[in-house]
Amino acid sequence: MGLAKRIIPCLDVDNGRVVKGVKFVEIRDAGDPVENARRYNLEGADELTFLDITASSDNRDTMVHVVEDVASEVFIPLTVGGGIREIADVRKMLNAGADKVGINTAAVFNPDFVKQAADKFGSQCIVVAVDAKRVSQPEEPNRWEIFTHGGRKRTGIDALEWVQRMDEYGAGEILLTSMDRDGTKQGFDNELTRAVSEAVKIPVIASGGVGTLQHMADGVLEGKADAVLAASIFHFGEYRISEVKAHMKSCGIEVRE
């Protein structure tokens, strides 16, 4: 027995409410963040990830209150991402009770920000969120690039080189989302996940595309992910965390029961 593979529900929060966007377009309301967090904790979630998708910066402080409320009631690791652009944003979220922050776009535009944040607060609380999309043709060797703006803008940065650089810069973990799969329910891009997981020393969380219990298990078995993240299958009650764990266990994966 040893370290368990983690199952992480992700909650997208818009103006203080949990929502789920499919490919970042259609947004459906899924309720109160604290209630959701409490329920996931009871069901055995190993961590929680909150992604602030609030468009207006005027409403950003709403997220701080959400984090404060959740951290007062739920005692498992809490990651907050979305709109983390400067050291002050990191400090604000950690002070509110987050254990880790997810840095995405800001890392692409200013990679040194990751270094500075890791130096200041420790690698353990810096998660670099990576949105990758396959750019190779079917007959070519696999190649993925980093995309920004919800998968719309190509950056020209090779995904594998990028994650290695982030590892060197002091990231504590990589949250890897396949923009090809996100919202499709076709399963993770396990080739991408495996390539990234084998390229870095730090843990990798697979994200984007889960539709079935087997998809979660495959992220670990085929993608070699250290943790698997999903949103919609949990929010709309399709599956409970406990069902995911039971299924993963039946596939020979070590989970926290």
Of the two residues 40 and 188, which places its CB atom closer to another protein in the complex? 40
Q: How many helices and strands (H and E) does the chain possess?
A: 10, 12
Task: Answer yes or no whether residue 23 interacts with another protein by CB under 8 A.
Answer: no
Task: Answer yes or no whether residue 34 interacts with another protein by CB under 8 A.
Answer: no
Task: Answer yes or no whether residue 172 interacts with another protein by CB under 8 A.
Answer: yes
Of residues 25, 57, 75, 139, which one binds another protein by CB under 8 A? 75
Long-range contact list for 200-204, CB < 8 A, 24+ apart? 200/163, 200/164, 200/166, 200/167, 200/174, 201/167, 202/123, 202/167, 202/171, 202/172, 202/173, 202/174, 203/172, 203/173, 203/174, 203/227, 204/173, 204/174, 204/176
Long-range contact list for 155-163, CB < 8 A, 24+ apart? 155/108, 157/108, 159/130, 159/132, 159/192, 159/195, 159/196, 160/195, 160/196, 160/199, 162/130, 163/128, 163/130, 163/196, 163/199, 163/200
Of the two residues 179 and 228, which places its CB atom closer to another protein in the complex? 228
Interface of this chain with another protein, residues 128 to 167, rule: CB under 8 A = none
Task: Answer yes or no whether residue 226 interacts with another protein by CB under 8 A.
Answer: yes
Show the tokens assigned to 163.
């994650």
Task: Answer yes or no whether residue 9 interacts with another protein by CB under 8 A.
Answer: no
Of residues 203, 221, 243, 249, which one binds another protein by CB under 8 A? 203
Task: Answer yes or no whether residue 89 interacts with another protein by CB under 8 A.
Answer: no
Task: Answer yes or no whether residue 65 interacts with another protein by CB under 8 A.
Answer: no
Of residues 10, 117, 202, 233, which one binds another protein by CB under 8 A? 202
What's the CA gap between 57 and 151, in Å, rounded?
21
Stretch that binds another protein, among 23-31, 58-66, 95-103, 244-252 (CB under 8 A): 95-103
Task: Answer yes or no whether residue 88 interacts with another protein by CB under 8 A.
Answer: no
All residues at 6 or more sequence positions from 22 whose CB lies less than 8 Å from its CB, including other chains? 183, 232
Task: Answer yes or no whether residue 95 interacts with another protein by CB under 8 A.
Answer: yes
**Measured torsion, CA atoms of residues 9, 13, 18, 19, in degrees rounded to the nearest 10:** -90
Of residues 34, 76, 135, 221, which one binds another protein by CB under 8 A? 76
Of residues 96, 114, 117, 146, which one binds another protein by CB under 8 A? 96
Of residues 23, 29, 35, 72, which one binds another protein by CB under 8 A? 72
Stretch that binds another protein, among 27-35, 89-97, 141-149, 240-248 (CB under 8 A): 89-97
Residues forming contacts to another protein in the complex (CB under 8 A) are 1-6, 41, 46, 71-73, 75-77, 94-99, 121-125, 172-173, 198, 200-204, 226-227, 256
